[in-house]
Structure 1
Amino acid sequence: MPSQRERVVAAVQVEGLSRRAAAVRFGVSYSVAIEWLKRVDETGSVAPHQVGGYKPKKLSGAWRDWLFERCRTKAHGPCGIRRVRAGPTAM
């Protein structure tokens, strides 16, 4: 069974409905129908955009190595001087 996106796009492209008429028929907002058809025009696909993605770690390179070494040797005294605050997920 085709998805709602595919049905809206087919109603416009095959049946010749306006974007607004297709939106009313399938119970979606006008703006979402317009966005779906814009996406089809640009990419040829009704697939949604990627959700989420790659987010680089906050600490990397020399800072990451320095902090790992400090934690490994448990030399935490001077860490407060640099005011480095990071949890395990930041590395």
Structure 2
Amino acid sequence: MHTSRSEIIARVRDFLQENFLYMHTNFQLGDDDGLLDKGVIDSMGIVEVISFIEAEFGVQALEEEVSQQNFGSLSAIARFVAEKQSLVTA
């Protein structure tokens, strides 16, 4: 199953709003903003985000794939998920 990048971003953004930014209703998170840099999540929060992504999109993140490059922003997460989904269906 392929999910569009815009759909991935929207669903991850909703997850972050509900679980990490619920006290900051006016917080604007851009697609390329650093999740750690902006203080949206911390090192424990990334574990929750990865669990959500695995359950929501049916992809698995290997330990060596957990990096800023793959999980540093909404855009990075969308790219990672799209690439993983394309491997599953290839």
TM beyond 0.5: no
Band of TM-score, shorter chain: under 0.3
TM-score (norm 1): 0.25
TM-score (norm 2): 0.25
